[in-house]
Amino acid sequence: MISTDTDKEISLIYFSIRFKFCIALIGACLWTWFSIWIAQAWIHDLSTHIGMFAAIFLIYGIAIIPGFMNSFAALSLMMDKRPRREALPFYPGISILIAAYNEAASIKDTLVSISQQNYPGKLQVIVINDGSKDETANIVRNLQEQFSWLTFLDLEKNAGKAHALNEGFKLVEHDLVVTIDADSYLHRIALINIVERYLLDPPNTRAVAGKILVRNSRENLLTKTQEWDYFLGISATKRMQSLYQGTLVAQGAFSIYDRAALIEVGGWPECVGEDIVLTWSLLNAGYRVGHCEDACLFTNAPTTLRVFIKQRQRWARGMMEAFIKHPSILIKPRLSTFFIYWNLLFPWLDLAFTFGFLPGLVLACFGYYWIVGIMTLVLLPMALLLGLLNYFIERQMFDEMGLKVRKNFTGFLIYVFAYSFLLQPASILGYLDEILRTRKTWGTK
């Protein structure tokens, strides 16, 4: 009896979110202190060639700050135990908005995946054709006869995704609004899962981001590589942020929102990164944004280098837009503000990698290990730990949902050793787009 009672007591021990945050922060600071200590000789040697300021800028941007971020994330994920979802006594009606531009190749599959959901509540699906030049409009019109829940809104002129969503929002009938990309495919219980997570999350939750995975990963090396980015990198970030009550992006590809909250913040803003700016509007209004790790949607990732770079430029520019539109969010006294400041460091890391690490690799090939050398490897083991940890977390989720992690070793190797060579320079281009106020366009097609 004594051991049983003890076991019950242990199982009832609850660690608050703030306690977990403090543990992760202390652990990350200790790792960072150790990294700075062993990097002193590296910084000194490099400073003799490029000066102390440049040496600190590069080494902190390449190794020290990423080490802090990776250790904080790894410790957070180790402590993350999510409450299990439960079946609801009643499933409310949901309205799904799908903005489509030249999606003739995929819009039918997207709607078919919705028809296979067997969602217990009422369903309204609104497809907004944003001036497509292909057969998107005709395909959707023909499907209206097959799907009674389908509403079609045909806009003659292409005006951007935010405008299309706001126009479709005028037709919404239900209090829960879901956005889905037109080139995607929902897992069979995705809608049930995301609604359950939304309604079982803390009462101040006003949006929940779903899980985005790559559907066309077998197409070429680029999509094989992106499969791991979505599976490991993006998903780890959302898990960590949602643990601390502040997912920073409820992505337009698949998220659920409260209708009244959308009205309160003015709907989708007219900008490149409409989803991140909308999310920050909700956070700035004091609401919580969550993440449902088992509400899966499979999307078509960019298949060409040009389209991929345009997409990541747009994402980076969207982050800049969010800071410009919501500067006051930096003084909000909540845990999620920590990650807002975290995002402020990304331009530094991208610049250090692009103009430090890449030239450093070239120098290392000729025997000059000023920037890239043995110390680089010593200071970056946390990246490997974080990757392995998130792999096992995600694989467990896949097993529970009857999914399998594909054996994509080639894509994994490229993701680990070469992906940043594309990703971080593309982000710099996005920052420049916003600084130079270049023309804003929707999408990556």
**Does pLDDT of 445 surpass 50?**
no
CA distances from residue 135 to 129, 139, 360 in whole angstroms, order as listed: 10, 6, 49
Domains and CATH numbers, the chain: 94-306 (3.90.550.10)
List the strands of the sheet with 184-186, edge to edge. 150-155, 123-130, 94-100, 176-180, 254-258, 205-214, 288-299, 184-186
pTM of the full predicted structure?
A: 0.90
Q: How large is the average pLDDT for residues 95-103?
A: 97
The 10s digit of each residue's pLDDT in 392-428 is 988 988 888 888 888 888 998 899 888 999 999 999 9
pLDDT band, residue 4 (cuts 50/70/90): very low
pLDDT over 90 percentage in the chain: 72
Tokens 């200071």 correspond to what residue? 379
pLDDT over 70 percentage in the chain: 94
8-12, 114-118, 384-388: segment of lowest average pLDDT? 8-12
**Does pLDDT of 333 surpass 90?**
no
Q: Is the dihedral of CA 367, 368, 371, 375 positive or negative?
A: positive
**Does pLDDT of 3 surpass 70?**
no
pLDDT band, residue 444 (cuts 50/70/90): very low
pLDDT band, residue 98 (cuts 50/70/90): very high
Question: End-to-end distance of the chain based on CA atoms, in angstroms?
Answer: 66
> Which backbone phi and psi does 243 adopt, to 5 degrees?
-55, -35
The 10s digit of each residue's pLDDT in 62-92 is 989 998 999 999 999 999 887 778 899 999 9
Q: Is the dihedral of CA 181, 271, 164, 155 positive or negative?
A: negative
Mean pLDDT of the chain: 90
